[in-house]
Structure 1
Amino acid sequence: MTTPEFTRHPNPAGIKRIAVLTSGGDAPGMNAAIRAVVRTGAQQGIEVVGVRRGFSGLHRGELQVLGPRDVANIIQRGGTILLTARSRTWRSPEGRAKGAEVLREWGIDGLIVIGGDGSFHGAYYLQEEHGIPVIGIPGTIDNDLYGTDHTIGYFTAVETALEAVDKLRDTGASHERIFVIEVMGRHAGHIALDVAVAGGAEEVFIPEDPKPVESVVKIVKESVTKGKMGSIIIVAEGHPGGAQAVADALAEGTGLETRVSILGHIQRGGSPVSSDRVLASRLGEAAVFALMEGEKGVMVGRTGGGITYTPLHETWEKRKDVSRDLYRCALSLSV
């Protein structure tokens, strides 16, 4: 078996120097994406500049050239070596104009933004107002961006939440308690749904399908009657009232001891699982190739195993629903 010979990717856009930044909430796998961007650039003869602290650092000129050795031993690390921040200044035309000026001073031919919908809004307006080509890489644990099957960080967030659920189930059964566990997902129930199915939860509450808690009281009572020692209820933070409202209603309706556990930002941390590392590596490479091909104003995603381009504005304008088949499965297996 012979090793495939490395070949240069077509570069009709004449890209020579690009910048990369991480913005918004951090997600496990962002470092793997940064690494992929830097090393793909190096192999293609393109210089890569890292921007520290997202858009906030961009308009302050916090830039540095990154080489392959600068991104060594980061693929397994959570967080982002470039740091991240949310910038109020960037929301103004003046803030974006300052950022564009910095990019021009550095001779940047294109910008890669790793983040979620808020970050993509900032990237979109930068391109619209100043003509700087931008490519988005979906980095958000919520998995709520249209145009990709999964976002970087999602797989790790699910595994982290599931580990906590398994441990809480042990103590819940020991004390014959109901545990209501809140996971992240302000506008999307992807994490909640996967964790509910994998964790064997009795019920799941997601923003896409708000429902009265009273409808679950009967299910929990029947579970106890059938001999279940404890119950697990998963609630996405975006469901009206969150976990506390669900717990209060269940305690009143069943008379059983109920406890609330809000997992919070623990879901953002930790070493990324293999699926996030692979996804981030593929999308980082694809983002560089997209700029070289002359693409701009798009997000690189993975759909059905292949790389796809989606206009940035569609990633937030079009709705990405949860899997209704999986939701049905979660409910049918809760008996």
Structure 2
Amino acid sequence: MRIGVFCSGGDAPGMNACVRSVVRGATSAGHEVVGINRGYQGLVDENLFLDSLGEAKMSARSVSNIIQRGGTILRSARCQAFQTEAGMQKAVETLEKFKIDGLIAIGGNGTFRGLNELVERWDGRVIGVPGTIDNDLVGTDYTIGFSTAVQTAVDAIDKLRDTAESHERLFLVEVMGRHSGYLALYTALAAGAEVACIPETPTDIPGMVDHLHSLQQTGKKSIIVVVAEGDELGGALILQDKLQKAKCSFALRTVILGHVQRGGSPTPDDRILATRLGDFAVRSISEGATAMMAGEINHECVLSPIKDSFSKRKELPKEMIDLLDRMSK
């Protein structure tokens, strides 16, 4: 069997570990692997990974010493052409030209929407592997890259807390998450933040100001507020302005972590998850599965319909929201 693999959309720490797992899992079972550079754009452009001999083939040696590296050796891109019928047909032609029987795509929401369209136009087998720091896909407890992104944000907040404490300030720390508050909530819990502003819950400015004032009255010298970029008020800078107008008693500063959250060496949890899911995707596709996402639920590898991963909303655990509320008091 000839299996294609690519990464698409925003990069996430652990993508390299997953590519490595796909390649080694496939070759150990006697399959060939074709690496596709720059995701769907690579399919449209026929941009394939070439080995040292110039062949469009990946071997175990192609993925040596990459498990600890952030980013992706296959690169990633967003492809406007694939959103057109002509672009999708060109992608199908590339798959057929290089005799690819199955395709494993590592990515997030947009990647899986693309796979869903490809399934309608190509008769090969398709499996998605969840690689996104947002942890917003239904069908898996955690996505590849989430653990590392939380670690990166927590490291930054630990440093900011020193400055906040020294100057008796409130820091608003904006993390990624346009539609999901997972990253903000888990970062807030791990960093001991006092407040998390997330898309799933309304942000009550007067209530927040009262809460912060009560903390100050008990002798609290520093405050960390973690803000998801998709918070309904519009992010940390807008929230800072609203808190100032509401006469928040703390001096305010805003830090936007931005794309730094996507980089860095993946945590052991992300490396293990990526390795498990990459290998599971290979085994699933070789057994005939298609139009499915490979995820992990309750420490078990599971398949779920690819369409469910993005068409259903992944709810935040209410007990985690309640836990943060109790810890902040």
TM-score by length of 1: 0.94
Residue 18 of structure 1 aligns to a residue in which SS? Answer: strand
- Determine the C-alpha separation between the residues in 2 that align with 1:233 and 1:33: 33
- Determine the C-alpha separation between the residues in 1 that align with 2:248 and 2:69: 44
* Aligned residues with identical type, % of pairs: 47
Task: Tell me which residue corresponds to 2:308.
Answer: 314
Q: Please, which of 192, 201, 207 is the counterpart of residue 200 of structure 1?
A: 192
Q: CA-atom RMSD, angstroms?
A: 0.8
Q: Please, which of 218, 221, 241 is the counterpart of residue 248 of structure 1?
A: 241
Question: 8 Å contact 1:100–1:132 — kept in the other structure?
Answer: no
Name which of structure 1's ranges 253-262 and 263-272 shifts more when overlaid on structure 2: 253-262
- Determine the C-alpha separation between the residues in 2 that align with 1:298 and 1:270: 29
Give unmatched runs, 5+ long, in structure 1: 1-15
Residue 146 of structure 1 aligns to a residue in which SS? Answer: coil
Task: Tell me which residue corresponds to 1:28.
Answer: 13
- Determine the C-alpha separation between the residues in 1 that align with 2:91 and 2:188: 43
- Determine the C-alpha separation between the residues in 1 that align with 2:194 and 2:60: 48
- Determine the C-alpha separation between the residues in 2 that align with 1:92 and 1:118: 14
Question: 8 Å contact 1:55–1:85 — kept in the other structure?
Answer: yes
Task: Tell me which residue corresponds to 2:296.
Answer: 302
Q: Please, which of 264, 272, 277 is the counterpart of residue 266 of structure 2?
A: 272
Task: Tell me which residue corresponds to 2:35.
Answer: 50
- Determine the C-alpha separation between the residues in 1 that align with 2:191 and 2:205: 20
Residue 120 of structure 2 aligns to a residue in which SS? Answer: helix
Amino acid across the alignment from 1:295: A
TM-score by length of 2: 0.96
Q: Residue 129 of structure 1: CA displacement?
A: 1.6
Q: Please, which of 114, 119, 122 is the counterpart of residue 106 of structure 2?
A: 114
Task: Tell me which residue corresponds to 2:51.
Answer: none
Residue 39 of structure 1 aligns to a residue in which SS? Answer: helix
- Post-superposition Cα deviations, 1:6-33, rounded to whole Å, max 9, x if no partner, equal xxxxxxxxxx111000000000000000
Task: Tell me which residue corresponds to 1:3.
Answer: none
Q: Please, which of 87, 91, 96 is the counterpart of residue 95 of structure 1?
A: 87
Q: Residue 256 of structure 1: CA displacement?
A: 2.6
Q: Please, which of 158, 181, 189 is the counterpart of residue 150 of structure 2?
A: 158
Residue 247 of structure 1 aligns to a residue in which SS? Answer: helix
- Determine the C-alpha separation between the residues in 2 that align with 1:292 and 1:187: 34
Task: Tell me which residue corresponds to 1:9.
Answer: none
Question: 8 Å contact 2:295–2:304 — kept in the other structure?
Answer: yes
Question: 8 Å contact 2:213–2:249 — kept in the other structure?
Answer: no
Task: Tell me which residue corresponds to 1:130.
Answer: 122
Q: Residue 249 of structure 1: CA displacement?
A: 2.3
Q: Please, which of 231, 250, 270 is the counterpart of residue 223 of structure 2?
A: 231
Question: 8 Å contact 1:76–1:271 — kept in the other structure?
Answer: yes
Give unmatched runs, 5+ long, in structure 2: 49-55
Residue 45 of structure 2 aligns to a residue in which SS? Answer: coil
How many residues were matched structurally?
Answer: 320
